[in-house]
Structure 1
Amino acid sequence: MTTELVAEAIKKAGIAWINVPGGPALGLWVMPLDGSLIVVCGPGEQAAPGLAEAERASVRLRGDNGALIVIVEASVERLTPGSEAWDEIAPQLAGKRLNASGTAEQLVERWAQAGCAVLRLTPADEPPIAAPDLPTGSAAAPPRETPARIKVRRPFRLHRVRKRKP
């Protein structure tokens, strides 16, 4: 059973913070469709470790002001290539995918061949967490280790830069 707040937040969602039990919350691009969120992840797409194998996930949605307005538990359903749901939903998702190379049909074919997961997240029957029960503290996590954070030496300068005197 979806509350009006959850339904409205899902309709306006373009990004959602999704986490599977035991994993970090990841900001993922989503497409709202009939009261559910559709997500694509896998090779060549956004990384969402563990989401394709999960049965449930926690979804955090933001409001018009950009702040968290609702946290809802959702069931995760993986759409299989060639199924009726895949044939209906995957082309719509491919059409909304920005900066994709090729046509929507080529993108759907690539998803099927590469083993990408197209997932439907449907809100569970549990009551959502909304104001005033939302967490008040920061949900910020420390940065994860990545090669992009390794300090490198300063760039080489061919000529000495002199400061101008006033």
Structure 2
Amino acid sequence: MDRTPAATATADDFLDRALLEEAAKKSGLLWVRADGQEQSRALWHAWYDGAVVVVGDGDEQPLHGLSAGAGAVVTVRSKDKGGRLTGWPARVTELAPRGEAWLGAVEELKGKRLNAPDTDTITERWARECRVLRLEPAGRGDGLLTEQPGAMPDDSHAVVPMPTPATTRRPVPAGLPRLLFKRRTGRTGS
């Protein structure tokens, strides 16, 4: 087996690509931070033709800061634990409505869209009101992944929650926990 730096880099790139693709396919949610933004946004997505595709704006998820030609950082969570699994830089491109790439991406996205109010006409609505973006992995010199198992950053990445007018009106009633966690008593099967 060839252990030259070029052969090792190729093998590492192949393994990075496999991890990135498998993680993105299995996770239903990822975090995306557009270049120039301070916070990441959670986005639902699909994997199509070697990249993550997202649909947003209009009545769908907001895609603030993501624009064609810009860059972004994508963080994919683990499906079983929900924690950070991998991160990578991406190039953002906008797919032209009703083009071949757009139609393929939309078919994948339609399967991932939960509780759509208009499942029969969703394609037309997306073409009219929304943007479909492709986030293609863009390795920067020393590998494709910036985060992966065994090579995670030490800082917490915690952010202050977004402001909201939602509040709890009153304290939880004292008897509620007993009601919720009370053992159900009843007949036992014979």
CA contact (8 A) 2:30 2:45 kept: yes
Is 1:101 the counterpart of 2:117 in the alignment? yes
TM-score by length of 1: 0.79
Identity %: 38
Is 1:36 the counterpart of 2:15 in the alignment? no
Alignment of 1:101-140 (within 5 A): 101-104=117-120, 106-114=121-129, 116-126=130-140, 127=143, 128-129=145-146, 130-140=148-158
Change in Cα spacing, 1:54 to 1:45, as seen in structure 2 (3 Å) is farther
Distance across 1 between alignment mates of 2:151 and 2:98: 42
Change in Cα spacing, 1:95 to 1:131, as seen in structure 2 (3 Å) is closer
Structure 2 residue runs of 5 or longer lacking an equivalent are 1-12, 171-190
TM-score by length of 2: 0.70
1:9-37 Cα distance to aligned partner (Å, 9 max, x none): 12212110100122210111111223311
- What SS does the corresponding residue of 1:148 show, helix, strand or coil? coil
In the TM superposition, what is the alpha-carbon distance from 1:54 to its structure 2 partner? 5.4
Q: Which has the higher helix share?
A: 2
CA contact (8 A) 2:45 2:112 kept: no
In the TM superposition, what is the alpha-carbon distance from 1:39 to its structure 2 partner? 0.5
**Letter matched to residue 139 of structure 2:** D
Structure 1 residue runs of 5 or longer lacking an equivalent are 155-166
Change in Cα spacing, 1:78 to 1:147, as seen in structure 2 (3 Å) is same
Change in Cα spacing, 1:12 to 1:78, as seen in structure 2 (3 Å) is same
In the TM superposition, what is the alpha-carbon distance from 1:53 to its structure 2 partner? 4.4
Change in Cα spacing, 1:35 to 1:13, as seen in structure 2 (3 Å) is farther
Paired residue total: 151
Larger gyration radius, structure 1 or structure 2: 2
- What SS does the corresponding residue of 1:8 show, helix, strand or coil? helix
| Structure 1 range deviating more: 65-74 or 86-95 | 86-95
Is 1:148 the counterpart of 2:166 in the alignment? yes
- What SS does the corresponding residue of 2:166 show, helix, strand or coil? helix
Kindly report structure 1 stretches of 4+ aligned residues shifted beyond 6 Å. none
| Structure 1 range deviating more: 23-32 or 83-92 | 83-92
Distance across 2 between alignment mates of 1:29 and 1:119: 12
Q: CA RMSD in A?
A: 2.2
